[in-house]
Amino acid sequence: MRTPRPIIVYAAAKLNLTLDILGRRPDGYHLLDMVMQTVSIYDTLLLTPTQQLGIDLLCDREGIPCGKDNTVQKAARLFYQHAGISNGGIRIQILKRIPDQAGMGGGSADAAAILRAMNRIYKTGFTLEELCELGLQIGADVPFCLRGGSMRAEGIGEVLTPVAPVPSCYFVVCKPEVSVSTAAAFAQADRDGAAYPRFTPAMLSALKTGGLSQIADCLGNSFTLALPLPQIDALRQAFLTMGALGACMTGSGSAVFGIFSERVSAERCREELRKTYQHVFVCEPVDAE
């Protein structure tokens, strides 16, 4: 019997232009106010329906666990349950390009891509809102990754509002070896009473009325205040030295990005950073699908 051709889908990374920690809910989740942007760094996922029941997951990046806790596994299982499909079988291959443990939403983006793709494969007709409700059961960033573009994210990240798009520009993203402890940073924010400057309101104003320089001036991330790391600050300063209009850590880290108005300057910065760092990318903002 002829082997079916895999369906290919792409999962886009995200950057946090801002991330404000506002406090903690009684259930332990933290309240956030963020501006997030989809960017042109993609994982590639290949899905092949099979006659064999279950989910067969493979990943080309060493060290990525493919068991039941993988977000792709969770997404596929949740989809089958919600769709009432008890005899489903699918093989999924992930070709990773988004760095892991970077604050770029790689796992959430992969889960979102799986929900979209399986909705198409099985012709279940779930709306985007229904997929977002499913995605929230996997992770707070999955609804954003399903919608994409330029968004304000409130609540725990699930309350999404489109904002004015980021003007044409180039992001250079660098993932250093150092890791940021999300749990430790949130714990410190709790001890500090989350009494940090608010970055999101100024960013929203800049997106509405300002140019790229003003937007770059409004970048900010509470995680870098809760748990400052010299390696992160040194990388941010390196971006500024190499001509970035602004630079900031994304998510809970540890990737740092700089904003450039011209590709030539961005490429020059990437080549310089590659002398020291393994994971360096040039990318652009991506609109909502």
User: What distance in Å separates the CA atoms of residue 248 and residue 235, rounded to the nearest whole number?
Assistant: 9
pTM of the model: 0.94
Provide the pairing of β-strand 54-59 with 30-49: unpaired
Q: Enumerate the β-bridge partners of residue 228.
A: none
- Structural domains of the chain, ranges and CATH numbers in brackets: 7-162 (3.30.230.10), 170-283 (3.30.70.890)
pLDDT in tens, the chain (289 residues): 466 789 999 999 999 999 999 998 888 889 999 999 999 999 999 999 998 899 999 999 887 878 888 999 999 999 999 999 998 999 999 999 999 989 999 999 999 999 999 999 999 999 999 999 999 999 999 999 999 999 999 999 999 999 999 999 999 999 999 988 888 888 898 898 878 999 999 999 999 998 999 999 999 999 999 989 999 999 999 999 999 999 999 999 899 999 999 999 999 999 999 999 999 999 999 998 7
Residue 38 CB neighbours (<10 A): 26
- 153 close to 36: Cβ distance less than 8 angstroms: yes
* Active-site position among 14, 74, 96, 175: 14
- 144 close to 106: Cβ distance less than 8 angstroms: no
> Phi-psi region for residue 263, left (φ > 0), alpha (ψ -120 to 50) or beta?
alpha
Query: Is residue 190 flagged as an active site residue?
Result: no
Q: Check residue 3 and give its pLDDT.
A: 63
Q: Check residue 2 and give its pLDDT.
A: 61
* Active-site position among 20, 110, 141, 175: 141
Query: Is residue 14 flagged as an active site residue?
Result: yes
Q: Check residue 5 and give its pLDDT.
A: 85
Q: Check residue 234 and give its pLDDT.
A: 96
- Which of 111, 12, 100, 98 lies closest to 64 in space, CA to CA? 100
